[in-house]
Chains A and B, each alone.
Chain A
Amino acid sequence: QKEVEQNSGPLSVPEGAIASLNCTYSDRGSQSFFWYRQYSGKSPELIMSIYSNGDKEDGRFTAQLNKASQYVSLLIRDSQPSDSATYLCAVFGAMTTDSWGKLQFGAGTQVVVTP
């Protein structure tokens, strides 16, 4: 079982609609969660970090965390063609595991925003 799982996509979203990306993780003790955006051929860019249950909003992005269910999601409102990219979910390992000090990455979800 992969430690961090995401749907690979592609997720096709009409311009102006909401893109919803999901991520599940296996390490129950994890406390830090991140979303990165990666354009083709470029390096990942940190767009959201979330540490406590609930929602965190930053501009058109909203991250949602549910530790009891072990999932974290990212909503992109008013999607634009410039949002077309691969979105990586990353989870910081719990202190009690071998993953402490490391980020575990999902394989990423490709989002395609169509005009």
Chain B
Amino acid sequence: DGGITQSPKYLFRKEGQNVTLSCEQNLNHDAMYWYRQDPGQGLRLIYYSQIVNDFQKGDIAEGYSVSREKKESFPLTVTSAQKNPTAFYLCASSPGTSLNEQFFGPGTRLTVL
């Protein structure tokens, strides 16, 4: 099956810990994105990558880091510098054509204990 997978589905973090969220796609999409969603709010862009080995900061990149070593994978690390990391994290990918459509994975719900 083609699609976008995210793991884990739920993640609990103690304060001061770094955690890494996985995002994998087998759609052969060039572009990948990470968003954060807080209750009752829209999506905010954390980082995005339009090509392997290149990525750009989104609107709320502080306290997060990413890598794009393979086309299929775009992991997100939530560092201890992120003061309020409890949120729903969504990964998306796009074929990178002029249509600009993005498709989302199922999400990871992160809770800080």
Contacts and interface: CB of A to CB of B under 8 A. Distances in A.
Contacts of B60: none
Contacts of A92: 100
Contacts, number: 49
B107 interface: yes
B2 interface: no
Contacts of B105: 43
Interface string B8-22: 000000000000000
Interface residues of B, number: 21
A8 B42 CA distance: 10
B50 to A, nearest CB: 6
Interface residues of A, number: 22
A97 to B, nearest CB: 13
Contacts of B101: 32, 34, 46, 49
8 contacts: A34-B102, A36-B104, A43-B104, A44-B104, A45-B104, A103-B43, A103-B100, A105-B42
Interface of A: 4, 8, 32, 34, 36, 42-46, 49, 51, 88, 90, 92, 101-103, 105-108
